[in-house]
Copies of this chain bind each other. A is one copy, B any other.
Amino acid sequence: MESAATVQPLNHQLSFLFPTKLIRTKASPCRWPSKPATSHSTRLYCQKMYVPGFGEASPEAKAAKNLHNFFTYIAVRIVAAQLQSYNPEAYEELMEFLGRHSLNDGDKFCANLMRESSRHKGLDGISIQVRTAYCKNDFEWDNLKRLSSKMVTEANTKLMRDYVLETSHAESEK
A residues sitting closer than 8 Å to B (CB atoms) are 6-7, 9-11, 13-14, 17-18, 22-27, 29, 48-53, 58-68, 70-71, 74, 77-78, 80-83, 86-87, 106-107, 110-111, 114-115, 121-122, 124-126, 128-141, 143-145, 147-149, 151-153, 155-156, 158-159, 162-163
A17-B86, A59-B74, A147-B61 given; A111·B159 CB < 8 A: yes
A152 — which chain B residues lie within 8 A by C-beta? 68, 71, 131-132, 135-136
Give the number of copies in the complex.
Answer: 2
Residue of B nearest to A7 (CB): B125
Q: Is the CB of A126 within 8 A of B10?
A: yes
Task: State in angstroms the CA–CA spacing of A59 and B140 once bound together.
Answer: 9
